[in-house]
Each structure stands twice: as structure tokens, then as C-alpha cells.
Amino acid sequence: MSNQVIGHVEIPVTNFDKSVKFYNAVFGWELKPFGNGYYLHNSHRGMTVGLRKVDAVDKGNCTIFHISVEDIDATLKVVKKQKGTVQRAKTIIPVYGYYALISDPDGNTIGVYQGNY
């Protein structure tokens, strides 16, 4: 079995102000300017997330990654409050927990996951 893990995720966005506000509010991240038109969140747990400025986002044609959350219901409420969209409501994954799919203000699809611990 490989020990490879995802170390960095880069999300294309058209508006840094909207996107930084959205991701910081929904996931409690601290996205900060990193130079060269880039924002970065460092979890200090082996994974970083970056926001990359683009002119347009190719909606619906992307790799979907899932962010672990403690309370998926509370997270979905914050998504709506921050003008995101719930694409797929909370859905049970037998034995494992729950997931949902959301869209950020640019239409990027992001998964949220609450495991059964």
C-alpha cells in the first residue's frame, strides 16, 4: 500500500474577496495572501489549500475533493448563508457516515464529509 497523501489542493476562483470570505466562513480556514495573486491556507497538518485567480471557472467539470467536517448539517447552513449552493443534500454512506456536495460562489463543486467516529 502506498503512503502517498494529497498535500495541496488548488481551487480556481474569479473573485478573491468573495472566495476567501466563503471558505474562511464555511471551513474555518485562514486563507492569506501568498504572493503572485495567490491565497493560501496551511493547516499545519500536512495539507495546504490555495486559491488561484482565473478569468472563468469551468463549472461541473472538475475533480471533487471532500473536506471532513464535524457537523455536516451546521456546515450546510453556513454554505447557504455565505451564498453557496447545496448541490446534493446530506446523504448517508452506510457504515462510514454522511456526505453532501456544495458549490462555492464560482460554481466549484466541493464535497463535505462527516464520518462515524
pLDDT in tens, 47-75: 899 999 999 988 777 778 999 999 999 99
Q: Are strands 97-103 and 85-93 parallel, antiparallel or unpaired?
A: antiparallel
In the CATH scheme, what is the code of domain 8-115? 3.10.180.10
Mean pLDDT, all residues of the chain? 91
Please report the pLDDT score of residue 81 as a whole number: 97
Close Cβ partners of 98 (under 8 Å, ≥ 6 residues apart) = 72, 90, 91, 92, 113, 114
Please report the pLDDT score of residue 117 as a whole number: 56
Cβ–Cβ < 8 Å for 59, 75 = no
More confident residue, 64 or 20: 20
Residue 46 pLDDT class (50, 70, 90 cuts):
confident
pTM, to two decimals: 0.84
The count of C-alpha atoms lying within 13 angstroms of the C-alpha of 76, restricted to the half-sphere facing its C-beta, is 18
Q: Are strands 48-53 and 66-68 parallel, antiparallel or unpaired?
A: unpaired
Question: Strand pairing partners for 85?
Answer: 103
Please report the pLDDT score of residue 41 as a whole number: 96
